[in-house]
Chain A
């Protein structure tokens, strides 16, 4: 735990430094995009956030399978942390997307394939966290949310194909050309990608450690309660204690 805490601290510092560096690069290093102007700079955080959202949801899938297979509590905490942090980045994606859309297409929201997919995923994982919130915290809640975590992830490819075909059926598809990225733009994107990834890992780790502390506290509380309830063992003590 102590080792983990120092790792986490180091990650925090590193993530902070890199995020600041990325900010600087985005503002001063990357050239202004020709057609969209300065608003395009949001792209350096929008795209990495979307990727982190997917990473978070992939963690939910793997951890949910892990939980059902082993019943280990750590898997459940990991799934929860993955969903929460993934949802945070998903929200960032959904908030930065419209800013882009507004200046690119003149509307705040567009039902383009990527944004729509992100929106549906956001809904699925809000439902996942809602389920966790609405159930008493016990083995059943963990199992149920693992089931939902798997089902939600199984839906992702279907969402992807469905939304893509739906958009291509409509004539109003927007093609985002990303070719011919200026070298300075590519460098900036690379740095911001690493910065956001580090931020993701740092947050995930923090969430996991927090959960661990909470669970330990709960266990201790449970032990105190049972100690208070414990009957003084009478002489008639018989049968099965170990």
Chain B
């Protein structure tokens, strides 16, 4: 158990350290997320933005688009010097590699979300302060599901000819139902509802998380094998 956790943490630490040095992924993710918000600001009448329907959709489109950038980078960076093979050589259960990659992807996405939220709130006049804790719960849970299935599919797409082009094509159809749930739950929260009022959606997201984290742990081995 200890070597397993050690390997997970080693991968997380390695990814975050690389990121800290290069600022490649999180930087472009944050910038892209900001751009999406700004584009929405120009495209829609921001004075009368519909809190329950339009705002959460904009927010999650920004998260999904920038999230896919980070996921794509996560495994394309492992192919630059062939290091994915070195990960496959490690004498640990390969699910540890999946977990490490997933956690570092998750942390990166949460970081970008935290940066996006205040900008979103100010530019699009969406009051967030009151509902921040509830919003954080929704965003965290949905991001777990997104990175779980995204990490698995990113590893898969990175080994194909199309690389990053393929990832959104594979990921978004599977992500749509949870995007829907996240948008609905966020809409409820923004409209001032309690978490308990959107419990159905939260449960659905949690079920998705559970299913796809498990699937990732079980199936990653099949993908890491070249």
Question: Do A165 and B166 contact each other (CB < 8 Å), given the known contacts A68-B222, A151-B219?
Answer: no
Q: A120 near B: Cβ within 8 Å? A: yes
Task: Decide if B204 touches A151 in the complex (CB within 8 Å).
Answer: no
Residues of B within 8 A of A131 (CB): 156, 160, 166, 170
Question: Measured between C-beta atoms, what is the minimum distance from B72 to chain A in Å?
Answer: 15
Number of interface residues of B (CB under 8 A): 33
Residues of B within 8 A of A135 (CB): 159-161
Residues of A within 8 A of B223 (CB): 143-144, 147
Q: B184 near A: Cβ within 8 Å? A: yes
For the complex of A and B, list the 4 residue pairs with the smallest distance between their C-beta atoms, beginning with the closest: A162-B177, A123-B173, A124-B173, A159-B177
Number of interface residues of A (CB under 8 A): 30
Task: Decide if B152 touches A147 in the complex (CB within 8 Å).
Answer: yes
Q: B176 near A: Cβ within 8 Å? A: yes
Residues of B within 8 A of A144 (CB): 156, 159-160, 222-223
Q: B215 near A: Cβ within 8 Å? A: yes
Task: Decide if A140 touches B177 in the complex (CB within 8 Å).
Answer: no
Question: Do A134 and B161 contact each other (CB < 8 Å), given the known contacts A151-B212, A165-B204?
Answer: yes
Task: Decide if B204 touches A152 in the complex (CB within 8 Å).
Answer: no
Q: B43 near A: Cβ within 8 Å? A: no
Q: A169 near B: Cβ within 8 Å? A: yes
Interface, chain A (partner B; CB < 8 A): 68, 120, 123-124, 126-127, 130-131, 134-136, 140, 143-144, 146-148, 150-152, 154-155, 158-159, 161-163, 165-166, 169
Question: Do A148 and B170 contact each other (CB < 8 Å), given the known contacts A154-B215, A158-B178?
Answer: yes
Report 29 cross-chain contacts, Cβ distance below 8 Å, ordered by A residue. Answer: A120-B176, A120-B177, A123-B173, A123-B176, A124-B173, A124-B174, A127-B169, A127-B173, A131-B156, A131-B166, A134-B161, A134-B162, A136-B161, A143-B225, A148-B156, A148-B170, A150-B215, A151-B215, A155-B174, A155-B177, A158-B178, A158-B204, A158-B208, A158-B211, A161-B177, A162-B180, A162-B181, A163-B177, A166-B180
CA distance A144 to B157 in the complex (A): 9
Residues of A within 8 A of B153 (CB): 148, 151
Query: Which residue of chain A has its CB nearest to the CB of B172?
Result: A123
Residues of B within 8 A of A147 (CB): 152, 156, 219, 222-223
Determine which residue in A146, A148, A155 has the highest number of CB atoms from chain B within 10 A of its CB, and name it: A155
Q: B32 near A: Cβ within 8 Å? A: no
Task: Decide if A163 touches B215 in the complex (CB within 8 Å).
Answer: no
CA distance A127 to B157 in the complex (A): 11
Residues of A within 8 A of B162 (CB): 134
